[in-house]
A and B are shown apart, each in its own frame.
Chain A
Amino acid sequence: MLKRHFLKTVVGTALLLGTALSAHAADDALARIKAAGVLKVGTETAFAPFDFIDAGEHVGLNVDFFAELGKDLGVKIEWVALPWDSVLPSLEAGKYDIVAGPATITKARLERFKMTSPIAEATVAIMKKAGDTSITKPEDIAGKAVGVGKATAQLEQLKEYSATLPKKVDIHEYVSFNDSYADLAAGRVVAVANSLPNIAFVAKQRNGAFEVVTPGFGKKTYFGFIGKKDDDSKTLVDYVNEETIKMKKDGRLGKLQEKWFGTKFDTPDAITDPAF
């Protein structure tokens, strides 16, 4: 009897809490963020030059971008850093309002999430150790060990590309791209497959240790931020889109790209039918 009563109490409390919290959610995401004065952004801090830790400080293009957005919107930005494979599940669990990342805009992701206006190109290429003459073009990775991040679009593109090669690539999946760069330096993999802005930045930072092999092997893709697909989040995603296009027009986005990638990208305003 007592046990039954206990169970009822627990379930009752949970339901009550649930309704209390959802009653709070009367307006839409953007209105709530404005009222609270805080925009919570989830990300992974191992994705230089977008989000990374430079001597203890969280920096990168995302940090600068959201600082600008926060200024325009009049709210503070609160960052939540998680391993990449739990970033998207935690967005769905309501841990934060939007995901920085960014993530490659793909067909599979568009089915489940809403992706914002592109902020950079995401086409995948490979990076090798400097002076490695056995790899001069993308197809040279056939049959070799190549590192890539777990649960990433780059991994999917590498798999697809590997299937077209005469010999399959020996794909090593890492928790973060940083770990794959470390293994490239240690010689456990001969190359790392990642998007051009990322590996270009890493190659530049590790002056002379790594080299990017051009051209990329993947289809032309773009990076965007990720929001929830429900009606509640629509106002927020729309706002981020407007801001992105505004910053592109007034040159702020170009300046940020110049600062973090050393080059500017021509990005479309919206991606409705991604190549991948």
Chain B
Amino acid sequence: MTIKLFTLLMQAALYTLGISIVSIVIGFAIAILLSAAMLSGKGIYIAPARLFISFFRGVPLLVQLLLIYTLLPVIGINVPSIVAAIIGLSLCTAAYQAENLRGGFDAVPKGLVEAADVTGFNPRQTFFRIRVPIALRLTFPALVNEAIMILKSSSLVSVVGIIELTKMAQDLSSSTYLPIPIFASAGAIYLVINWAIALVAGRVERSLPKVTA
């Protein structure tokens, strides 16, 4: 295990990190739309959101990636590897994050919403000042969990031609015949990244106001 091999692993880890962060952010934006649709109470919005969530939660990410990469060109949309990888990860995490958010909104105590109503908050104020902050606070740990899951799931994007950390480790171990140190290093890099995410998230969580029902 030389410095050169370790540097290559670190470069690939940057790829892993970049793809994951972009996907989590895009996924969160889509998740907001999805959970809004689910909470709208109107069948016309709920039905497509449900369909989206059941598909992207129900089909393995590996299959989704292969579909996006090889099926989209059939209808004339040919996306490069990196775009396919980000679309796949974003849509998949959006489905999970939407369910987390919906759970958060459902868990906002009814009494608080009613209290806001009688004290003269209009629906808009109730939503942005009462429901959103509480729901976000309640969903935060689940969102961090999802971010860590996506970072690890990003090891699957090598099937659409992205050389991320896991694929780089495979390539290096097959050319150097040093599987143990290389895979151990790759595992350690994943661990350190996720540990850092958990550490920062823990700090943020402690700084948020406590919610008790």
Contact = CB atoms under 8 A, between A and B. Distances in A.
A18 B174 contact: no
A166 interface: no
Interface stretch (A87-95, A220-228, A253-261, A266-274): A87-95
A72 interface: no
A66 interface: no
Contacts of A176: 174
B69 A178 contact: no
Nearest to B71: A93
Majority secondary structure, B binding face:
helix
Nearest to B74: A93
Nearest to A186: B179
Interface string B63-99: 0001001110111111001000000000000000000
B172 A53 contact: yes
A90 B77 contact: no
B172 A82 contact: no
B13 interface: no
B172 A56 contact: yes
Contacts of B75: 14, 17-18
Interface string A1-20: 01100100000001101111
Contacts of A93: 69-71, 73-74, 78
Contacts of B77: 14, 17
A26 interface: no
A interface bracket (residues with beta carbon within 8 Å of B): 35 or more
A90 B69 CA distance: 8
B160 A82 contact: yes
B74 A81 contact: no
Nearest to A21: B76
B4 A55 contact: yes
A22 interface: yes
Given A22-B76, A56-B8, A56-B171, 12 more contacts: A2-B44, A15-B76, A20-B76, A21-B76, A52-B175, A54-B175, A80-B81, A82-B160, A89-B70, A90-B69, A93-B78, A95-B70
Interface of B: 4-5, 8, 44, 47-48, 66, 69-71, 73-78, 81, 158-161, 163, 168, 171-172, 174-177, 179
Given A45-B171, A90-B69, A95 B179 contact: no
Contacts of B158: 83
A266 to B, nearest CB: 30
A27 B196 CA distance: 52
A45 B48 CA distance: 41
A230 to B, nearest CB: 14
A18 to B, nearest CB: 3
Which among B73, B163, B174 has the greatest number of chain A C-beta atoms within 10 A? B174
A105 B8 CA distance: 35
Contacts of B73: 93-95
Which of B48, B81, B163, B175 counts the most chain A CB atoms within 10 A? B175
Contacts of B48: 3, 6
A82 B78 CA distance: 16
